[in-house]
A and B are shown apart, each in its own frame.
Chain A
Amino acid sequence: MDRKRRTMDGSGIRQALSMMNERGSGEGAGYVAYGVYPDYRDCYALHVFFDNVRENKDVVDATLEQWGTIEHDEAIPTYDQPNLRAVHTPWRYFFKPDPSLAPASTSPEDDIVSALVMRVNTARRGALIFSSGKNVGVFKAGGWPEEVADFYRIEDYEGYTWLAHNRYPTNTPGWWGGAHPFNLLGWSVVHNGEITSYGTNRRYIESLGYTCTMYTDTEVVAYLIDLLVRRHGLDLDLAVRALAPPFWEEIDRMPEAEREWNRALRLTYAPAMMNGPFAIVAADADTMVGFTDRSKLRPMVVGECADRLYISSEEAAIRAMEPKVESITMPAAGEPVIGRVAP
């Protein structure tokens, strides 16, 4: 992340991610960049995987037109790679929802778009919306990180915040939808780990109107952050605290007022709490946050250099991107690292 919103092209993060190839298996990788669509900054950029453009696109077109205006749409440019089999056609729409169609909502545009995402993805008719925010785009596929980067020519994109992920899948090998980052509206998530509380988290989030469609635990993180931050209005650090709360032992030792709100947070969001080993980095247009599980069973390293903030599983990746990095730190378990861009 560049806190001054100075953009970086994708070559740096491609290089950084390639340092950690032994953490992957060549079956999935992905990138997300904020600030990539300045010309359409007021539109929701919907990235869609079509199984078959001819068969599946009409349905998506019709659905979107029911709920707003498609300002522009096109195939996402891709470049064949020898070892990457293009099983989907990535497409992008720049879409403006009609807020008058959700009159009861306080955030009608977001609500329309998130409902459309859930609907299209649940219908499973050869179309999967995997990116749906404004001025942000997810680029992912099955393959090694460099192949996926070259498939999209990631160096052609300029963003001020980038997340990237290299996958070693166990649940859903080969499926492009299962690659990270996961995105809903403004929020994107990359995740190393396995959420042992997934069954609880999924049932909670689904009882509040979300639908999990990607067959993998990471997507609940995106939805939980959306719920806590957008719908419940919690500050990001409090949302993270709800997801990875302090142990009761620590809460018991806190001064009274602090103890009270921490207790309230744990009680209210008990089903949102995430268990199991994880390191997660999430971002939206203004923020980037990294945090681990309460016992820090997965690594997380933070680097800083002037306006740049780096969060990674390995220091090597940070140094590949920023050889002159000024500080390297390892946050304590559960302690969030939050970066914000200047307004």
Chain B
Amino acid sequence: MTIGSLPSRYRISIDPVRCMECERCIENCPYGVFRRDGDRILVNSRNCTACHRCIACCPRDAISLEEHPCDYRSHPIWTREAREAIYNQARTGRIILAGMGNALDYPVIFDRLVLDACQVTNPSLDPLREPIELRTHIGKKLAKLDLRRRENGDIELRTALTPNLRVETPIMIGHMSYGAISLNAQMAMARAAKETGTFMGTGEGGLHSALYPYQDRMIVQVASGRFGVNIDYLERGAAIEIKIGQGAKPGIGGHLPGEKVCEEVSRTRMIPLGSDAISPAPHHDIYSIEDLAQLVRALKEATEWKKPVFVKIAAVHNVAAIAAGIARSPADAVVIDGFRGGTGAAPRVFRDHVGIPIEAAVASVDKKLRDQGIRNEVSVIASGGIRGSADVAKTIALGADAVYIGTAALVAMGCRVCGNCYRGLCPWGIATQRPDLVQRLNPDAASEQVANLIRAWTLELAELLGAAGINSIESLRGNRDRLRGYMLDESLMQVLDVRQVGA
């Protein structure tokens, strides 16, 4: 034996007094933690992912879960994760895969920013009694307007507006592909988007025919693998998004394991059954900013300039300059995905170490666009680690027009952020294609939950705006005067262009 077995990450135990041996845990755990032995239920904690499915299903609260029951000798540098990564790679010689977002203990800038409220010198507004407008328009805007008054006094608009997406709340659902997640999960989110007046992304997995009824609420994605892309697909979407990169794995392409490519996924993606869907790191027709502008134009031309085209990039060091380049193309919106963005599968080294946080990325993009006098001409959508309405408000105050949520929408459907999405065994029916698991997710109930989440955040946003004496979301956009930094260092506050608390 060289390495031997490692300490188990979790310990599941069943209280024999409470357990009534109903076997729901056995049925519900796809990882094989539980099995029956005579009149007992045995546990193999080593298989546990802390997905909590068993705990949620147990009618008697008999199951308990403990994290790290047996840890290594503590050490500040040689953490458990560092050591286990080495054991793993020493054995396999491979890249380590991981799911969900960045798991390193970086400080969260959102949690060091506080919002403002009015007292005395201006009244706070009460959203129950006064209108607070959250409607947002995503798309190209004009630098100036040519409005003329005709002889008869009518106003004539002499400049045509390009198509914009009208979103009733600045919260949109980001791109999670069919394949990475189940059709039921996509259906649930699409219905929620329709119900709450917002939009959701298809991801790069094409558009399944079951989603056609919601297509005017879907943003269809064109990524480097071009999966599922044809003219029918482009024409169905409310908008088109070119995905250059993703916050969870900047600089590399996507990977959908062949196990998840079932017949329906294969048809929707237009790839062979059971084959790995690997999208290349770059788009092989985009090797420069002008190539991107060409693709934007090509997509617009193909859809007769009727649809907004977004470009999504990962938040990397030079994000501001890249965004400024995108803003100069006919693209309508820049989507910036911060390094906390989620994913079904990413090499751990990328997920945890590449890219920058969304807070800093939005601030620097907004500033760069303003320095060039073009900020209002293009929309900025931010994503990657938005956990609540306060994060939304802070992101907008830092300069975004709207946000994409991803993980939060999955959590609203039951996801426990266990991070094993890439294994295709999601016990909640979300990140899986196995029919028996998929059917666990009821699209009706799940869509109501996602819609509730968006409604609840929207209500909270209205309250936050009202308290700040603002009755329309555009007056919060880039309004960093309404933020203060708490225990942030000076150079970061300069990047964020916020003052410190008390100043």
Contacts and interface: CB of A to CB of B under 8 A. Distances in A.
Interface stretch (B10-18, B50-58, B350-358, B371-379): B371-379
Interface residues of A, number: 44
A196 B118 contact: yes
Interface stretch (B221-229, B425-433, B479-487): B479-487
A264 B476 contact: no
A194 B477 contact: no
B85 interface: no
Given A200-B475, A295-B471, A271 B375 contact: yes
A234 B371 CA distance: 24
Interface of B: 118, 121-123, 125, 130-131, 133, 135, 137, 141-147, 149, 154-157, 159, 161, 164, 370-373, 375-376, 468-472, 474-482
A273 B477 CA distance: 11
Contacts of A208: 373
B57 to A, nearest CB: 45
Given A193-B122, A271-B376, A295-B125, A199 B470 contact: no
A247 interface: yes
Nearest to B142: A268
Interface string A185-199: 000000001101111
Interface stretch (A89-97, A111-119, A255-263): A255-263
A269 B478 contact: no
Given A238-B155, A247-B131, A203 B145 contact: no
Contacts of B146: 233
Contacts of A206: 370
A267 B164 contact: yes
Interface in A261-280: 261, 263-265, 267-271, 273-277
Nearest to A271: B376
The prevalent SS among residues of B at the interface is loop
Contacts of B121: 170, 194
Given A204-B375, A207-B370, A232-B144, A275 B133 contact: no
Contacts of A248: 133, 135
A235 B147 contact: yes
A221 to B, nearest CB: 14
A5 interface: no
A114 B119 CA distance: 35
B472 A265 contact: no
Contact of B155 (A202, A258, A268, A297): A258
Given A197-B475, A264-B161, A273-B475, A295 B469 contact: no
Interface of A: 170, 193-194, 196-200, 202-204, 206-209, 231-235, 238, 247-249, 257-258, 260-261, 263-265, 267-271, 273-277, 294-295, 297
A232 B145 contact: yes
25 contacts: A193-B122, A196-B122, A198-B481, A203-B370, A206-B370, A232-B144, A238-B155, A249-B131, A257-B154, A257-B155, A257-B157, A258-B155, A261-B155, A264-B147, A265-B147, A267-B164, A268-B142, A269-B145, A270-B376, A271-B376, A273-B475, A275-B469, A276-B469, A276-B470, A295-B125
Contacts of B164: 267
Contact of B375 (A194, A207, A257): A207
Contacts of A260: 157, 161
